[in-house]
Structure 1
Amino acid sequence: MTRDASEGLNVPHEKTKILNGEEERAHTKEGKGVKKSIKSKYQLVDFNSLPTFLRDNDFILGYYRSEWPLKQTFLSIFAIHNETLNVWTHLIGFFLFLFLTIYTAMRAPIVVDSLQYIPEIIGKADLNKIREELLKCLPSLPDMPDLHKVKNELSTSLHSLNFSPLSGRNVMELLINCFPEHFSSNYLKDDTIEFVSSSTIQPITRWPFYVFLIGAMFCLLASSTCHLLACHSKRLSYIMLRIDYAGIAALIATSFYPPVYYSFMCNPFFCYIYLGFITLMGVATIVFSLLPFFNKSEFRKYRASLFFLMGFSGVAPIIHKLILYGDEPEALQTTGYEILMGVLYGLGALIYVARIPERWMPGKFDIAGHSHQIFHVFVVAGAYTHYRDGLIYLRWRDLKGC
């Protein structure tokens, strides 16, 4: 009885241990399943697994982030996915323009293509009058034996000297050789762009140039942030895309400020007309981009066309500039840069709309080489071309004014 009773009493205890073991294993499996589901939540997915608001380019088949928490979305800037290069191409561009802005502010570009502009500078001085003044001073010099020969030779040289056939380069070289302590060696450099002391030439106002630099930085930073965070949620995607479109409109509009202002600063009426028109067009584009349908994939061509029309409106002030200053070398140089900038922006937009090259080999350019990344590179190249264009305008107006 006692043994049976004890055996009988032990049965439930063993069953309980077995049940507890099964529950523990079940909980362990459940815990692993939870951990696995959390881990898989941050894994990259393919195009077919995306929610509707993240579906844009069906030729990019994989490596998507989908509705990640904000922390993981931020940290994914250092991860590999199909937006990595979209983020970094414009983020690097932002830091490039931040450096250019600081550098320009610290060393105002009184741009002197040294000896190219010396004829204009020297031409403002009456060199023959200087020669006459020197001749008047010679008799007043002390009549010392050592100076007598020098005075005679100098007098003979000045009487026979004719400044008219001398080129600006010869005059400048003569002055530098005679008075090296008064002339910087920077004037003899071959580089086109030289930064010299602001006391040399009175600089023209820089605010239109800084407006462009700020517009470029805003566009690049907005685009980079959009590509990083838009995968978080539908609401955040909507907000970031609107900021991205506003950045594009800002870049196009502010790109007009340096060429329009410096081309027509002596014609305020046309200056204000052109600047007012492009500013209103930029604001209208930003407002239009806030409409919900503007972000739909089928409106991709219309978005690109709208931005293209904004840029194409710059043809009018360029032609007007050439009519007014067609004989000025700076007018031709800046026009060349502006044509190059338009080609870079236009080619990038064409590649973006056509989805080249991923449309030819879907899935092969998911990580690197797809159209949006190429478009970003062209945008940075076009903006930097415009920066160089702006330096020429500054040099032109610094030296000539109106």
Structure 2
Amino acid sequence: MKKRRARSGFSYSRQAAAVGDGGGSKEKEKARVLLKYEALPEYLKDNEFIRDYYRCEWPLKDVLLSVFSLHNETFNIWTHFVGFMIFTGMMMMSLTEKMSMENVMATFFGERGDGWLTSKTINRSNASDSFFTDSYVGRIARSPVLHASKDSDSVPLWPWLVFLVGAMSCLIFSTVSHLFACHSRRFYYFFWRLDYAGIALMIICSFFAPIYYAFSDHPYWRFCYLSSITLVGFLVVLTLLAPALSSSRFRSLRAGLFLFMGFLGVIPATHAVILHWDHHQIRVSLVYEIVMGLLYGIGAFFYVTRIPERWKPGAFDIVGHSHQIFHVFVVAAALAHCAATLIIMEWRRGLPA
């Protein structure tokens, strides 16, 4: 059977039987073949609407090098690796005391982004009640939110760092899972369970900073919320460690568990708003959290429905399928949560100790 070359540089075959002539040559060819869905072993058949460009049981070296080639996991890998690098940058800025909304915008969007944030003059006494006014963001832009100083020692940095660690862990776990899971059945189950654990870890860690800062004056509630959410997250991870739940049949269950964990945040968020309704920053932060929830929800919708590839199987094998869209929404939601957390931190620093 004739073979043609994929753009990625790896050989491509429409049938697994088309691989090699035997012996060492067969093994070498197998390492560089992209397969169709029907040629995959059962454990790799996750999405029947992605019809082509599958890596299957490649040697580790070729799997690692495939990060620079074109196949149906390429953009799944890179969407979350880029997100990981963004949060790594935030971590480095935090640890070097250069983290502020202004610095974040200037770093990732250039002077134009920085200018947009600082374009409006802030007037504390005449601040608008609008949730979407730029003034609050501008106020944070001129304040080194995470810059350590004697005046801000009462507001610890560690809850913010916990969130960053959770986000970084989730994104890098996802990256390596999409890269290495095709190597073998053992790798498949190990890495996808690692991926699910990373998602749960990110959700848990996302609660730490806003709850810690919003309930600094209410240690009882702070303890109750953080311990409860951590316990639920631990139970979810234990549930998802079952190998059977890694199959595509339980896609909706996995999404439902993660959404359930996320929506547990509605309770402490509502409580915080009731306690601090007279503070504008809390209301603005709430809007960012609502945006975060919407982004996660939209991402989960694509993840479960497998739109758009179910509408036209094979048309979105490399670019534009649902899991890539889901990844983009996850990163966007995490960035919205970043903004909400920075606002709460700035608000807490402005309160008397």
Using structure 1 for the length normalisation, give the TM-score: 0.71
Contact kept, 8 Å, 2:50 with 2:316, in 1: the verdict is yes
Aligned pairs for 1:2-401 within 5 A: 34=23, 37-41=26-30, 42-107=32-97, 109=99, 116=122, 192-196=140-144, 198-199=148-149, 201-203=151-153, 204-401=155-352
Using the TM superposition, give the Cα deviation of residue 191 of structure 1 relative to its aligned residue in structure 2, in angstroms: 6.2
Using the TM superposition, give the Cα deviation of residue 195 of structure 1 relative to its aligned residue in structure 2, in angstroms: 4.2
- The residue identity in structure 2 corresponding to 1:219 is C
Equivalent position of 2:115 in the other structure = none
Gaps of 5+ in 2: 1-19, 103-117, 128-136
Using the TM superposition, give the Cα deviation of residue 107 of structure 1 relative to its aligned residue in structure 2, in angstroms: 2.1
Equivalent position of 2:134 in the other structure = none
Contact kept, 8 Å, 1:107 with 1:195, in 2: the verdict is no
- The residue identity in structure 1 corresponding to 2:141 is I
User: Could you tell me how far apart the structure 2 residues matched to 1:32 and 1:309 are?
Assistant: 52
Contact kept, 8 Å, 2:93 with 2:99, in 1: the verdict is no
Rate the CA distance shift 1:401–1:307 in 2: closer, same or farther, 3 A: farther
Gaps of 5+ in 1: 1-30, 120-166, 169-188
Note the alpha carbon deviations across 1:116-170, whole angstroms, 9 max, x for none: 4766xxxxxxxxxxxxxxxxxxxxxxxxxxxxxxxxxxxxxxxxxxxxxxx99xx
Secondary structure, in 3 states, of the residue corresponding to 1:44?
strand
Greater Cα shift, 279-288 or 196-205 = 196-205
Contact kept, 8 Å, 1:47 with 1:62, in 2: the verdict is yes
Using the TM superposition, give the Cα deviation of residue 300 of structure 1 relative to its aligned residue in structure 2, in angstroms: 0.6
Using the TM superposition, give the Cα deviation of residue 394 of structure 1 relative to its aligned residue in structure 2, in angstroms: 1.2
Rate the CA distance shift 1:296–1:198 in 2: closer, same or farther, 3 A: closer
Using the TM superposition, give the Cα deviation of residue 399 of structure 1 relative to its aligned residue in structure 2, in angstroms: 1.1
Contact kept, 8 Å, 1:110 with 1:201, in 2: the verdict is no
- The residue identity in structure 2 corresponding to 1:237 is Y
Secondary structure, in 3 states, of the residue corresponding to 1:307?
helix
User: Could you tell me how far apart the structure 2 residues matched to 1:340 and 1:360 are?
Assistant: 28
Note the alpha carbon deviations across 1:311-348, whole angstroms, 9 max, x for none: 01110011101111111101101100100000001100
Contact kept, 8 Å, 1:322 with 1:332, in 2: the verdict is yes
Rate the CA distance shift 1:77–1:110 in 2: closer, same or farther, 3 A: closer
**Structure with the larger helix share:** 1
Equivalent position of 1:125 in the other structure = none
Structure number with larger C-alpha Rg: 1
Task: Report the identity percentage.
Answer: 45
Rate the CA distance shift 1:310–1:221 in 2: closer, same or farther, 3 A: same
User: Could you tell me how far apart the structure 2 residues matched to 1:115 and 1:199 are?
Assistant: 25
Using structure 2 for the length normalisation, give the TM-score: 0.81
Q: RMSD between aligned alpha carbons?
A: 2.4
- The residue identity in structure 2 corresponding to 1:76 is S
User: Could you tell me how far apart the structure 2 residues matched to 1:269 and 1:199 are?
Assistant: 27
User: Could you tell me how far apart the structure 2 residues matched to 1:108 and 1:268 are?
Assistant: 29
Greater Cα shift, 55-64 or 257-266 = 257-266
Using the TM superposition, give the Cα deviation of residue 194 of structure 1 relative to its aligned residue in structure 2, in angstroms: 2.3
- The residue identity in structure 2 corresponding to 1:58 is E
User: Could you tell me how far apart the structure 1 residues matched to 2:309 and 2:207 are?
Assistant: 33
> Of the two structures, which has the highest relative contact order with CA contacts closer than 8 Å and spacing of 6 or more?
1
